[in-house]
Amino acid sequence: MLMNEQAGHSSKAAASNAGPLAGRVALITGAGRGLGGTIARHFARAGADIVICDVNLAALEETRQAVEAIGARCMALDCDITSSSNVRAMFSAIVERFGTLHILVNNAAVGPTAAPDEVRRNKHYAYITTPQPRRALGFTSEITDEDWHRYWDVNVHGTFYCTREALKLMQGQKYGRIVNLASVAGFSTISAHSPHYSATKGAVIAFTKAVAAEVAGGNVLVNALAPGGVSTPFFEQYLDSIGEEARNRFWQIVPAGRFGTMDEYAAVATFLAGDHYFVGQVISPNGGAVI
């Protein structure tokens, strides 16, 4: 296998017998840190058996331990979702351990967090929050082939590979829930500083709608969660770095005056993973940044 399996066995499995996701097996990709890890913990509290994957094995182990501490069974897998063969091997391991899969959260993604991204972000936010002459900002012309393909490989190709394998199981059992992590960047200009990121998240939204219309008749419900800003250590550090005046200008574009917490977003993902009547919808908690 092209992955290393860490299969945890919790002594507190009773937690899986209660809650709105009891009896379900859920895979969360990119769950080693951040929102993916938080979603895994929420699903565990809701009673699901948890499968998590990531390429950051140290962070993945932390999430596994946190999930098992809640009382859920957890399987942790080292999987590069940009490889279709890795993804197929991961699903084979899931079936071997749990028999099937009921819930998929396509959370793994590349985001604009590198130093060049920060430069563009600062330039863009200053441009939209302070009076200054209109001009071309020069973002798209600076994107390299390598960056463009890297974003598509993870954010779009990886989402497709995982969805394809999940549907092979869900269609046969006539039950499934897929939650794709999109972003307001996919349907607004709020992330114009990162056109490669915006393009991939727009593709995730279009993919969500097409697949949702295709499979809803088989009781497989596909929807997208499109955060408008997640309160992570990275963004808190960013806001601290720009100073009070720039920070106050920034919050003029978010009526709520803050980003959503990871727990708030994970609660929406938990709802979309359960029983509801949503098909092909883009749910976007964003504090009013896009209304």
CA dihedral (276, 199, 110, 75) in degrees, to 10, reads 30
Query: Mean pLDDT over all residues of the chain?
Result: 93
pLDDT reading at 224 higher than 90: yes
Q: In the prediction, which pLDDT does 238 show?
A: 78
Which residue segments constitute the domains of the chain, with CATH numbers given? Answer: 5-283 (3.40.50.720)
Strand runs (DSSP E) across 94-205, as ranges?
Answer: 103-106, 176-181
* Sole residue written with tokens 């200054």: 132
pLDDT in tens, 236-252: 887 888 888 888 888 99
Once rounded to an integer, what is the mean pLDDT over residues 41-63?
98
Residue 3: pLDDT over 70? no
Decide if pLDDT at 27 tops 70. Answer: yes
Spatial neighbors of 155 by CB under 8 A, at least 6 apart, are: 109, 110, 197, 200, 201, 203, 204
Task: Flag whether pLDDT at 18 surpasses 90.
Answer: no
CA-closest candidate to residue 286, choices 236, 232, 227, 235: 227
The mean per-residue pLDDT over the stretch 24-28 comes to: 99
Higher pLDDT, 31 or 230: 31
What pLDDT shows up at residue 232? Answer: 80
Between CA 32 and CA 54 the distance in angstroms is 6
C-beta of residue 129 within 8 angstroms of C-beta of residue 252: yes
User: What's the pTM value of the predicted model, to 2 decimals?
Assistant: 0.93
* Degrees, nearest 5: CA angle 220-178-56: 150
Supply the pLDDT for residue 17. 61
For range 9-23, the mean pLDDT: 63
pLDDT of residue 71 exceeding 60: yes
Report pLDDT for 128: 93
Task: Find out whether 102 and 25 touch, Cβ atoms under 8 Å.
Answer: yes
At residue 202, does pLDDT exceed 90?
yes
pLDDT mean over 154-161: 98
Nearest to 123 by CA among 193, 197, 185: 193
Stretch among 43-47, 74-78, 234-238 having the lowest mean pLDDT: 234-238
